[in-house]
A and B are shown apart, each in its own frame.
Chain A
Amino acid sequence: MKYLLPLLILISLNSEAKVESELSGNLEVQGRHAWNNPEAKDVFQNWDEADFYLAYGNLNGKLEFDNSRLEANWFARRSHSNLYKNDYLATRIYNFPNSLVARNLFKLEYKDQDRNGLTESVLNKVFYEWDYKEHRIAFGRMYVNYGIGEIFNPINPFNQPTGLTSIQQVAQGSDGLSFTYFANDKHTIHFYALGDKNTENYQNKFTKTLWVHGEYEVSDKLQINYVLGEDQRRAKAGGQVSYQGEEAMYFGQLLYQTAYLDNKASSNLWDALLGYDRQLSSKWHMRFEGGYQKRNEYAALGFGSRFLPTEYFAALALVDEIHPLVKLTGTFINDIKSGFTYFIAKSTFSLGQNIEADIFGYTPITKGDAVDNPAQKLVTTDLGVALRAFF
């Protein structure tokens, strides 16, 4: 990896074509006050109220020459709260996604947690991409970002959906190679060969990912995506179907994962998603997503690192652009099995060409039976503000 950048600079210097460069980024600060769920003390989260502050930013660079491009993104964030003194779990919800690199071979990151907060700095994108006729080849650390689900997007294991989180300007990188074949107007196939090491110990062997993702347009109304491969020691297969109705789009996803291929104790897993998306008027938009994720008995709290600690869920998001300056979003998520319901309200204000502010609130509105889902006891009530600038 250390030879990649000089090599690419050499290529670009030797290129006779015009070289275009671009530098862009964003900076965001957030502050929130959180009230703990009284039941969180059952799972050793012994605090009542706390403040949580977060600053993060992206610096994105791009060089384009001939039919190729080099892109890099540096992501840094500092989280600050008394909650870090006892390493309470709520900080992981406020900082989601916690990992900025989904499939990590090259590290390229710095992470330091102390009693007051967490500092992270990571080069979460640095890749070279080359287009040749109907082919595209990329290598390095790249974003693998596809799938229609905004709250739950099981067919893509390489990027966590951020539809419910307060950190929006982020994507997770993955290390390896990709090859895309644009077969025709209707069919595109992406092949990925990625690798991952245990992020805590880089002496470990890496696990490989060999992945195919295809996009096929069956008709002008029906599109399918399919995925197949081996990833993190499981064989996985699934797909996505989306249908453009007269007034709305209907979509669904299914992903099946086998137990670990190396015989380590594990079970198979199923994920499913059904969705409906409709623009109700020029200002109102609604989206419904309902899903199922099979409980993983071998993962922490049943769902590992996923944001949604629910087995069956139904979510409804409504967006109202009440003014060119102001957008309101309300999202309800219900765990059908336990009865737990969570509400997220957000208002986004444009303060200038490149500055915007959010006021956001997160709260559980029905408790439900959390016996089977102790992670739901960790869900706090928060009220916060965010200010972000783009350049």
Chain B
Amino acid sequence: MFKNLLRKDVMFCVALGVNANNADEWLKYVDAQIRGDRSQSEMVMTIETPNWSRTLEIESDVEGKSQALSTINSPAKEKGIRTLRIDNNMWNYFPKLKRKVAVSSSMLLASWMGSDFTNDDILKASSMSEDYHHKFMPDETLNGVKYRVIENKSKSDAKVMWPKIVTYASTQDCLPRFYKYYDKENKLKRTLSFDDIKTFDGHKFPVSWVMKPEDDNTKKTSILYKNIKFNVKFKSDHFSQKNLTDK
């Protein structure tokens, strides 16, 4: 422990209050920074293939692990479509048809609007710090940059879609730069990379997210956060049927 505390490369994390020897504590710090207790964000998602790209503008409100509401603001084709998640229950609302549809919670697995992100990613149904066991792995150097590597294996009672995720965290600010997602066969399926760390309401947050599937290296989906607020206070009925259908 003493040896680790003296490691120069993790001293910055220690200064931030992260227990650099405890992977659980490290991931708690990451969750506290990136998820917070609640957040309200505006983002632009771009789905790219070699011959085509598509851009969506989204608003996402999240409170804890159990409540989330997302709204698509553009393009016109999907404008106004909202998804509400409360615990295990999810509803899609199509305002032009005034239709609210309960959807299977297994839809958390589904690709979100044809992107490389899933509903689970957008609606933040799982929490890295709460749903996974964490273990340090040997540090790795990628493209000349050294990363602290943490293996996250899902807890037996956790309802998550990825049994194993490997975090590559910066030793400078302790925040992840890559997440590598593995399936049940321990096969790498996709990689999420973070860039451009900025500070919002005291939270260090990567505003650029890029998800690349491993089975098709010509595709990727990027999310650029235009804004995120962590000190937001939602009305008591914000995550409710009434609010879902008031547009």
Contact = CB atoms under 8 A, between A and B. Distances in A.
A143 to B, nearest CB: 4
A143 B54 contact: no
Contacts of B242: 131, 134, 136, 182, 188
Contacts of B115: 324
Nearest to A67: B246
B101 A148 contact: yes
B170 interface: no
A338 to B, nearest CB: 30
B232 interface: no
A325 B104 CA distance: 24
Given A324-B114, A353-B55, A220 B87 contact: yes
Interface stretch (B1-9, B105-113, B131-139, B147-155): B105-113
A79 interface: no
Interface in A143-192: 143-146, 148, 159, 169-171, 182, 185, 188
Interface stretch (A194-202, A273-281, A359-367): A273-281
Given A60-B96, A321-B114, A248 B88 contact: no
Interface residues of B, number: 39
A: contact size bracket:
35 or more
Interface string B106-128: 11111100110010000000000
Select the residue from B79, B87, B106, B237 with max chain A CB neighbours within 10 A: B106
A249 B103 CA distance: 8
Given A277-B104, A321-B114, A244 B75 contact: no
Contact of A58 (B88, B96, B100, B114): B96
A16 interface: no
Interface of A is mostly: strand
A223 B240 CA distance: 15
A285 B110 contact: yes
A217 interface: yes
A171 B76 CA distance: 18
Given A148-B102, A244-B104, A221 B88 contact: yes
Interface of A: 24, 58, 60, 73, 131, 134, 136, 142-146, 148, 159, 169-171, 182, 185, 188, 215, 217, 220-221, 223, 242, 244, 246-249, 251, 277-279, 281-283, 285, 321, 323-325, 327, 350, 353-354, 356, 390-391
Interface of B: 47, 49, 52, 54-55, 75-77, 79, 86-89, 96-111, 114-115, 118, 159, 219, 237, 240-242, 246
22 contacts: A60-B96, A131-B242, A136-B246, A143-B97, A144-B98, A148-B101, A148-B102, A159-B99, A171-B96, A185-B240, A188-B241, A188-B242, A217-B89, A242-B102, A244-B89, A244-B104, A249-B103, A279-B109, A282-B118, A324-B114, A350-B52, A353-B76
